[in-house]
Amino acid sequence: MNSLEMTIKKDNRFIIVGGGIGGLATALGLAQHGIKSIVLEKSSKLGEIGAGIQLGPNAFHGFDYLGVGDQARQLSVYIDDLILMDAIKGNEITRISLGEKFRERFKNPYAVVHRGDLHGVFLKACVDNYLIELQTNANVIGYYQEDEIVSANLDDGTLINGVALIGAEGLWSKIRNQLVGDGPPRVSGHTTYRSVIPYADMPEELRWNAATLWAGPKCHIVHYPLHGGNSFNLVVTSHNDAPEPVAGKLVSKEVVRKGFEHVNEIARQIIERGKDWKLWVLCDRDPITNWVDRRVTLLGDAAHPMLQYLAQGACMAIEDAVCLSEQMKNGLDDIENSLINYQNIRNLRTARVQLHSREIGKHVYHPDGVHALLRNKIMKSKSQDEWYDNIEWLYGSTGLDS
């Protein structure tokens, strides 16, 4: 045992509820400062669904802080552009170049990765770190705190003790339910279908090294390459007023086709090429100001669930992990104030992303008629420098500043 190990007492650890990207990132961030944690994951196996994820430069600052920068960079696909297409007319509206100028400005790249691969990087780093304990089949139903001890209550009656607890268990967080009690998430009425297909199955004219978004009335289609360009991630969304939350249900192609009958033939091919489509009815919440109850706080989707339209939910969870860890860098002496500082630094930035994600759904992704023409006119008129200025607030931050 080295001296650092000797100083860590048995329950002098953070309890992290949820082993998703946010939970594992937090465990790694705390470990950077010598803080021990136990991650409690409800599932029998730690993992992620087989779909893609876009990563802004802000996520890469986070990877470096968490000590997994090289590994995350190795598995990323570096796309050239973000392209916005008109899904009815079939023409390009605008594109944001992600080349050298973008990297210089934001100090890091924009990339896409397979979620499972990214989660695997975090998981390996956690497994290899003696400060981190991972426990599966641990379904947390609430917490209890007294003086300097916090307990996670498991559904089998077990209590897990620590000095602080982070609710990082996603959209349906039980910790949030106890801490905030603001009821179930808001059902957006937007239905997303996801599929991953081999490179060869992608229509030849759409094999672009870009994240492409086809925007149409009450629907949109997204595609980008994965796995070093060996496959394509397909995500199509219909604003069909779906009333109930659903996550990951297998559906037939006929179901997916329904919201896209009015879309240009080229974009519609995406639906025909997709296989094993899975359905999600998207949910989010209104931002809130209080994420802290003494030694308990929230992180990632548990704190600020958002629609995916800025492709930032996981990026924000990583930023949260960085910010919280930084607040803990001086040790465990003042946990309650450190958690309040974390909340105060993160609160408005994440609220902005939550609200902005909803708004671009309305004004960029799904408008019709004059609203769509206006979108095209405004977006076409921007130069690359103007685009970079517009996205500075999002990509120019690291999670350490509010």
Ligand X SMILES: Cc1cc2nc3c(=O)[nH]c(=O)nc-3n(C[C@H](O)[C@H](O)[C@H](O)COP(=O)(O)OP(=O)(O)OC[C@H]3O[C@@H](n4cnc5c(N)ncnc54)[C@H](O)[C@@H]3O)c2cc1C
Q: How far is the CB of 178 from ligand X (least distance, A)?
A: 11
Binding status of residue 18 toward ligand X by CB under 6 A: yes
Identify the residue among 15, 31, 36, 41 touching ligand X (CB under 6 A): 41
Give dist(CA 66, CA 145) in Å, integer: 28
Give dist(CA 209, CA 346) in Å, integer: 33
Identify the residue among 37, 54, 212, 343 touching ligand X (CB under 6 A): 54
Of 106 and 332, which has the nearer Cβ to ligand X? 106
Residues 176-235 that bind ligand X (CB under 6 A): 192, 235
Q: How far is the CB of 176 from ligand X (least distance, A)?
A: 10
Residue that is written with structure tokens 């397979």 in the block: 114
Of 53 and 345, which has the nearer Cβ to ligand X? 53
Backbone angles phi, psi at 83, to 5 degrees: -115, 135
Identify the residue among 57, 170, 185, 274 touching ligand X (CB under 6 A): 170
> Is 275 buried (19+), middle (13-18) or exposed (0-12) by CB count in 10 A?
exposed
> Is 159 buried (19+), middle (13-18) or exposed (0-12) by CB count in 10 A?
exposed
> Is 369 buried (19+), middle (13-18) or exposed (0-12) by CB count in 10 A?
exposed
Binding status of residue 300 toward ligand X by CB under 6 A: yes
User: Around Cβ 328, how many Cβ atoms within 10 Å?
Assistant: 24
Binding status of residue 313 toward ligand X by CB under 6 A: yes
Binding status of residue 117 toward ligand X by CB under 6 A: no
Residues 350-389 that bind ligand X (CB under 6 A): none
Residues whose CB falls within 8 Å of the CB of residue 351, separated by 6 or more in sequence, listed in order: 287, 304
Binding status of residue 68 toward ligand X by CB under 6 A: no
Backbone angles phi, psi at 199, to 5 degrees: -50, -45
Of 332 and 339, which has the nearer Cβ to ligand X? 339
Containing 39, the helix (H) or strand (E) segment is strand 36-40
Identify the residue among 15, 28, 38, 40 touching ligand X (CB under 6 A): 40
Identify the residue among 43, 136, 230, 337 touching ligand X (CB under 6 A): 43
Binding status of residue 28 toward ligand X by CB under 6 A: no
Residues whose CB falls within 8 Å of the CB of residue 110, separated by 6 or more in sequence, listed in order: 54, 55, 56, 57, 78, 79, 82, 98, 102, 395
Identify the residue among 31, 236, 314, 353 touching ligand X (CB under 6 A): 314
Q: How far is the CB of 197 from ligand X (least distance, A)?
A: 16
Q: Are 312 and 306 in contact (CB under 8 A)?
A: yes
Binding status of residue 293 toward ligand X by CB under 6 A: no
> Is 254 buried (19+), middle (13-18) or exposed (0-12) by CB count in 10 A?
exposed
**b/e burial code for range 289-311 (CB count within 10 A of at least 16 → b):** eebbbbbbbbbbbbbbbbbbbbb
Binding status of residue 53 toward ligand X by CB under 6 A: yes
Helix ranges (DSSP H) in 168-312: 174-179, 253-257, 265-273
Identify the residue among 129, 135, 139, 161 touching ligand X (CB under 6 A): 139
Q: Which stretch binds ligand X (CB under 6 A): 16-24, 63-71, 91-99, 334-342?
A: 16-24
Q: How far is the CB of 112 from ligand X (least distance, A)?
A: 8
Of 27 and 332, which has the nearer Cβ to ligand X? 27
Identify the residue among 317, 322, 372, 394 touching ligand X (CB under 6 A): 317
Torsion sign (Cα): 197, 62, 124, 30: negative
Give dist(CA 207, CA 199) in Å, integer: 8
Q: How far is the CB of 92 from ligand X (least distance, A)?
A: 21
Of 43 and 330, which has the nearer Cβ to ligand X? 43
Q: Which stretch binds ligand X (CB under 6 A): 37-45, 82-90, 177-185, 289-297?
A: 37-45
Binding residues for ligand X, rule CB under 6 A, total 32
Binding region for ligand X (CB under 6 A): 17-23, 40-43, 53-54, 138-140, 168-170, 174, 192, 235, 280, 300-301, 308, 311-315, 317
